[in-house]
Amino acid sequence: MKKWMPYLLVSPYILHFAVFVAFPVVFSVILTFHSWNIISPMRYVGLANYEHVLKDRLFWQAVWNTLRFLLVHIPLQIVLALLLAELLNRTITGAAFFRAAFFLPVIVSGVVVTILWQQLLSFNSGILNRMLTAIALPRVAWLDDPAIAMYSIAAMATWKNVGLYVILFLVGLQSVPMQYYEAADIEGASSWQKFRYITLPMINPTIFTVVVLSTISGFSLFVEPYIMTQGGPMNTTLSAVMYIYRQAFQYYHMGYSATLGFCFALIILFVVIIQRRYVEQEL
């Protein structure tokens, strides 16, 4: 083998990394000190973009919206996924069918799911409200009430993704040694005790994986509110990525948008590091 062979083999990676990772990161930092609309030359503005971020109430609202989304989405997803995985985690007939059914929304584009749920959540003709009126309950403005629109989107995102986490939990559950449960049976433990003192501690790593994965995917929330509500009502479903997109591609504030992206990435890293700390202590 020629000495240069390994370098030839990794050259696509080096090139790709340089152009699409290293350069953007460095350029992103440079951009944050400039004002630029792409057409006219870049203008150095010092820390003005950062000062602007601190005072930009809409950005902080967008960050808060994204966090509100996560605060509902993640616990809901873990509870539902664990419940479904528990139900499936026996040799039952039709397990393959149920797994496949839960997984269907996972593979379909978020665009499809969003258009679908936009109709199902419609105030006048949506299925949910028709079910409510059928049992004589008042209709709910799922997407038009500022107090609940973001939670409707969080519930929809849970519906879309939960199948993936069911599969991850199933893998986790199947790695728990049966002897533990047998020993617990001899001791006369209840189902809940077995779940609380054996299953839960054993699948802690899976829970952590699910929390981190859904945190990162939740922070990139964009298509769902973009199609469903365009950020409304009253900016309560405006996500951080949507706001960054808006600043760049509607107002052409490239420097400012890059600053927002940079600050938001720091927030993401902060949240993920906290999660990791916390979980490591728990383990």
Partner 1 sequence: MNPFIRYALLTLAALSFIYPFIWMVSASLSSESGLSELTLLPVGFTWSNYATVFTKIPLDRAFVNSAFVAVLTTGLVLVSGAMVGYALARLDFRGRNGIFYLIIFTMTLPFQITLIPNYITMVRFGWVDTYLALIVPFALNSLSILLFRQAFQSLPQALIDAARMDGGNELRIIFQILVPNILPTVLTITILTFMGLWNEALWPLIVIRDESTMTMPQLVTLFSVGGRAEGQLGVKIAAAVLLAIPIVVLYLFFQKHFIRSMASSGLKD
User: In whole angstroms, how close is the CB of 109 to partner 1 at the nearest point?
Assistant: 4
Q: How would you label 151-171 residue by residue, b for 16+ Cβ within 10 Å and e otherwise?
A: bbbbbbbbbbbbbbbbbbbbe
Please report, as residue ranges, which positions from 224 to 263 form the binding site for partner 1 (by CB under 8 A). Answer: 226-227, 230, 240-241, 244-245, 248-249, 254, 257-258, 261-262
84, 224 contact by CB (below 8 A): no
Asked if 184 touches partner 1 (CB under 8 A), the answer is no
Of 58 and 87, nearer to partner 1 (C-beta) is 87
Q: Does 101 bind partner 1 (CB under 8 A)?
A: yes
Query: Counting contacts by CB under 8 A, is residue 99 touching partner 1?
Result: yes
The answer to whether 255 touches 84, Cβ cutoff 8 Å, is no
Q: Which of 70, 82, 85, 88 binds partner 1 (CB under 8 A)?
A: 88
Selected binder of partner 1 within 58, 87, 234, 274 (CB under 8 A) = 87
Q: How near is the Cβ of 88 to partner 1 at its closest, in Å? A: 7
6 touches partner 1 by CB under 8 A:
yes
- Give the one residue of 54, 92, 147, 186 binding partner 1; rule: CB under 8 A: 92
Q: How far is the CB of 214 from partner 1 (least distance, A)?
A: 9
Q: Is 143 in the site for partner 1 (CB under 8 A)?
A: no
CA distance 56 to 52: 6
Q: Restricting to residues 210-229, which ones interact with partner 1 according to CB under 8 A? A: 213, 216-217, 219-220, 222-223, 226-227
